């Protein structure tokens, strides 16, 4: 797995984002038992940014001019045809791009009483699943995606993020 991290906000380097991203992506790929095409590893580009930058991206791509925790852009459409079904495995090693915002992640972790690294790991698992074609627009898709997140995080010794 190759994760190319672009650090726009140096606080992410101090927080150990590269190691968290490597662990989260590997956990997703292992759990789904995916084999990279052509024998090469999968590739993800990760933008480690702040709230101001992610607000611009959220506005540009989702018409929501506010910060968010994580955004993802799959390199190709991978969604399943039927709600609640797994998407087809990727046939391209390049999975896509993820952006993650430091201030929002910090605020959410504090509000939820979670360790920062635990919350960020969850968001990275979430983002990688989006790159693989999973989403949460439909109730069936949301249940599938959340179930996968809980299973993957459990294997990482992270408790269910959806429990109160």
Write down the H helix ranges in the chain.
11-14, 17-31, 51-62, 102-112, 116-131, 139-155
63: left (phi over 0), alpha (psi -120 to 50) or beta: left
Kind of pairing, strands 2-7 and 43-49? parallel
Q: What pLDDT, on the 0 to 100 scale, is given for residue 14?
A: 97
pLDDT in tens, 111-155: 999 999 999 999 999 999 999 999 998 999 999 999 999 999 999
- Check whether 119 is labelled as a binding-site residue: no
Length of the chain, please? 164
- Check whether 122 is labelled as a binding-site residue: no
Domains and CATH numbers, the chain: 2-155 (3.40.390.30)
Low-confidence ranges of the chain (pLDDT < 50): none
- Check whether 126 is labelled as a binding-site residue: yes
| Count of beta carbons in the 10 Å neighbourhood of residue 64 | 13
């Amino acid at each position: 797995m190759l994760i190319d991290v672009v650090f726009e906000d140096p606080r992410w380097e101090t927080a150990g984002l590269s190691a968290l991203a490597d662990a989260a992506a590997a956990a997703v790929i292992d759990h789904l038992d995916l084999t990279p095409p052509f024998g090469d590893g999968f590739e993800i580009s990760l933008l480690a940014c702040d709230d101001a930058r992610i607000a611009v991206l959220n506005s540009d791509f989702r018409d929501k001019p506010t910060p968010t925790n994580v955004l993802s852009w799959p390199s190709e459409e991978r969604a399943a045809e039927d709600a609640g079904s797994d998407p087809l495995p990727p046939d391209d090693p390049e999975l896509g791009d993820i952006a993650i915002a430091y201030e929002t992640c910090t605020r959410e972790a504090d509000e939820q009483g979670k360790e920062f690294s635990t919350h960020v790991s969850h968001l990275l698992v979430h983002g990688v699943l989006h790159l693989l074609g999973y989403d949460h627009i439909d109730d069936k898709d949301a249940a599938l995606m959340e179930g996968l997140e809980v299973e993957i995080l459990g294997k990482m010794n992270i408790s269910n993020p959806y429990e109160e």
